[in-house]
Amino acid sequence: MIDVENLTKKFDDVTAVDGVTFHVDEGEVFGFLGPNGAGKTTTVRMLSCLISKTSGDARIAGYDIDNTADSLKIRKIIGLVPDNVGLYEELSAYKNLDFYGKLYECNKTQRKENIEHFLRMLGLWDKRDVAAGAFSKGMKQKIAIARALIHEPKILFLDEPTVNLDPESSKMVREFILELKKENKTIFLNTHNLDEAQKICDKIGILNTKLMATGSPKELEESVWGSKTVIQLEQVNEMILDALDKLSLNSIINDDNKLTIDVVNPEKENPAIVAAIVRAGGHVQYVTELSPTLEDVYLKFVR
């Protein structure tokens, strides 16, 4: 659905996006993580045909972003929630959406049905006749999300969609994104929110001008240090450590009767480890898995 190869954007002597390559499947939620100035918004603007590329290639549903005729087709099949919502503040929420629906050549029935559908889903139907200028930042953000969907696009680009929202509204937007995924929409999400990316993204790219890593949240987490098993014992003694040495484990750290052990296959190795400890007279208090977080992954690559 989205194919990007060596995509680069320079502003004079500054390289904002440097040779980025990735692929997003149809119906996938793809998250772009990175610090401020990493090139996330610049990438979205290129893919949305709002600014030109410097070099490289990118196709949206088979259409070339660098081809004038294709760029018009791309704009018809994508929706964009930018970092600056840019509503007509003197118009009501309903009229804002109706105006953009007309720009996308949606017929009157489609506009009416979609406006009501999305405003109800986002909890704004009762405020449909209120001028957008009277809304909070979070409410304006919701209108911008509805605006991006008014023409029923196949692909949705979201640039920090929950940045101005309170926790309850952010949760609503995340659930909304997952509902859109059920409709097989492809979603490209720029976010600083690691928890948000963890919960809703099928695949994540970590960008810092260059693309540092891509993969599912689980794949990225395992790339940091793999799996570790933590075993709390009543007491660790030499007999227990000798018994574990015979298992040829990669690494064992003993800290205040707590063993942290590197494992490759926890399901297979953990039972053997616990059995060896018990045979050596150890008393196990608990066994748990120590897993790296998406934050660990993020900090590893952006640093």
Q: What is the C-alpha to C-alpha distance for residues 165 and 284, in angstroms, rounded to an integer? A: 45
pLDDT of residue 6: 96
Domains of the chain: 2-215 (3.40.50.300), 222-291 (3.30.70.100)
pLDDT of residue 257: 93
Strand, helix or coil at 13? coil
pLDDT tens for the chain, 303 residues: list them. Answer: 999 999 999 999 999 999 999 999 999 999 999 888 899 999 999 999 999 999 999 999 999 999 999 999 999 999 999 888 889 999 999 999 999 999 999 999 999 999 999 999 888 999 999 999 999 888 898 899 999 999 999 999 999 888 767 888 888 888 888 888 888 899 999 988 888 888 899 999 999 999 999 999 888 887 776 778 999 999 999 999 999 999 988 889 999 999 999 888 888 899 999 999 999 999 999 999 887 778 878 887 777
Residues 38, 208 contacting (CB under 8 angstroms): yes
Q: Using alpha carbons, list the distances in angstroms from residue 223 to 33, 172, 211, 212.
A: 16, 31, 15, 12
